[in-house]
Amino acid sequence: MNKHKPSLHSAFNLLSCLEEAGYESHIVGGAVRDIVLGRPMGDIDIATSATPQQVMSVFSHVIPIGIDHGTVMVRYQSHSFEVTTYRTEEGYTDFRHPDEVAFVNSIRKDLSRRDFTINAMAMNQNGDVIDPFHGKKDLSKRVIRAVGDAHTRFNEDPLRMMRAIRFASQLQFEVTEEVKQAIYNQASLLNHIAVERIAVEFEKLVAGKGYQNGIHLCDTLGVFSYLPIFSAHRSLQVAVPRQKLFGFAQLITYYREQTPTISLQKWVKDWKLSNRVKREALSLHSALTEYKQHDEMTLWLAYQLPEHLAASFIQVLKALGYPVKKEAFTEVSTLLPIHSIDELAFQARDLIKAFPNLEKGSWISSGIESIEYAVVTKQLNNKYEHIKEWVDQWNPPASN
């Protein structure tokens, strides 16, 4: 198991500490679902009858991250666990946070407030599963079903509609007709949700094994009508990548190819994406433009594309239907004569020296770029004498 992810063994030890102190406690949520399915776990959340103050009295390293709602972060055996007091919730004026939270002593009452049956299970320190809403049965049937009334669950937090489709994609499950109908009826409530939260779910949805079904659900249930950019472009709603995509840099590079009139900058702005995503998407788009121009992986492409984006670029090409091998970038990059401008045998100072009568200006940077391109594409050997001989043939302007 990844050392940075919570340890199930440590989680059971944490439960034992709470039990020994007189408090009931369980692992809850997605971790239980993943344990039952035999899937790799993400975060491990704990629910307990102990109040936040009581939890802080049991453990020495506790951060009160959401103490008003009963949640603290416990640092235990080199792992971090969110520990939340059993609670019920009422009223969701902001369509996200409950207006009122009441602490309770029943794990079953706590589970009744959760979104889907497959996420409404709990596990005690002995590994026994508490399953009041038949989540295990729904896991075996491979369905996404709401806890209680789906319309009520989605009205509490409309993001749950995106989560339903995301789980269908990730787990390759079917969504029940009741859940589908509730999404179709209430998709407009997504207007109340911060686009950043929607982006997280959509990103996971398109990276799931069942992404084609996920995209189909977004289309047929009306979800796309309330997502930035998609809402105004029907062609995007029915565009299905030929390969699942990871991250918004890949996503917006792919979707820009479907509608070139929509700039990457608009995607970044409307979805409120980070500058990092913007930089990566611009790099991927530039590489894609070069690839389409030559219909192959070129030396210049391999030189310009940051190495950490190589796998992403191959993924985008496959999503667009290009028959490219995953080793294509590596095969070309091994042929590069240089890997950065610092490796050029002829630098800006040498160019200035070659034309001492010219004032400094933009001709220097454009000249170096020409040399860089010629060397990378092997039109010119990366040797000072060869480059100097080539430069001497230039006839630059007398001034800028």
- Whole-angstrom distance, CA of residue 205 vs CA of residue 399: 56
Express each pLDDT in 51-61 by its tens digit: 999 999 999 99
Here the tokens at position 317 are 């090409």
- Whole-angstrom distance, CA of residue 380 vs CA of residue 373: 9
| Strand order from edge to edge, sheet including 45-48 | 62-66, 71-76, 79-85, 45-48, 25-28, 122-123, 129-130
**What is the chain's mean pLDDT, rounded?**
93
Express each pLDDT in 385-398 by its tens digit: 999 999 999 875 54
Express each pLDDT in 274-327 by its tens digit: 999 999 999 999 999 999 999 999 999 999 999 999 999 999 999 999 999 989
Which DSSP letter does residue 228 get? T
Last residue of a domain, one of 198, 227, 256: 227
306 and 380 within one domain? no
Give me the mean pLDDT over the 140-156 stretch: 96
CATH number for the domain including 80?
A: 3.30.460.10
- Work out the angle between the directed axes of helices 195-206 and 159-171 (0-180°, nearest 10): 10
Annotated binding site for ATP: 30, 33, 114, 157, 160, 163, 166
**What is the domain count for the chain?**
4
31 and 136 within one domain? yes
350 and 288 within one domain? no
Q: Is residue 362 part of a domain?
A: yes
362 and 276 within one domain? no
Predicted pLDDT of residue 41: 87
Predicted pLDDT of residue 5: 61
CATH number for the domain including 347?
A: 1.10.246.80
Task: Please indicate whether residue 95 or residue 163 has the higher confidence score (pLDDT).
Answer: 163
- Give the range of the structural domain holding residue 387, as residue numbers without chain letter: 341-391
104 and 1 within one domain? yes
Any bridge partners for residue 45, and if so which? 28, 82
pTM of the predicted model as reported, rounded to 2 decimal places: 0.87
Residue 316: name the closest of 265, 217, 248 by CA. 248
96 and 7 within one domain? yes
Q: Is residue 280 part of a domain?
A: yes
What is the C-alpha R_g of the chain? 28
pLDDT band (50, 70, 90) for residue 72? very high
pLDDT band (50, 70, 90) for residue 400? very low
Express each pLDDT in 102-147 by its tens digit: 889 899 999 999 999 999 999 999 999 999 999 999 999 999 999 9
Strands (E), 20-121: 25-28, 45-48, 62-66, 71-76, 79-85, 87-90, 100-103
| Res. 257: pLDDT tops 80 | yes
Annotated binding site: 30, 33, 43, 45, 114, 157, 160, 163, 166
Give me the mean pLDDT over the 161-180 stretch: 98
147 and 103 within one domain? no
CB 161 within 8 A of CB 223: yes
Q: Is residue 321 part of a domain?
A: yes
pLDDT band (50, 70, 90) for residue 399? very low
327 and 295 within one domain? yes
190 and 92 within one domain? no
Q: Which helix (H) or strand (E) holds 122?
A: strand 122-123
Any bridge partners for residue 90, and if so which? 100
Express each pLDDT in 315-354 by its tens digit: 999 999 999 998 999 999 999 999 999 999 999 999 999 9
- DSSP reduced 3-state for 304: helix
pLDDT band (50, 70, 90) for residue 7? confident
Q: Is residue 351 part of a domain?
A: yes
Annotated binding site for Mg(2+): 43, 45
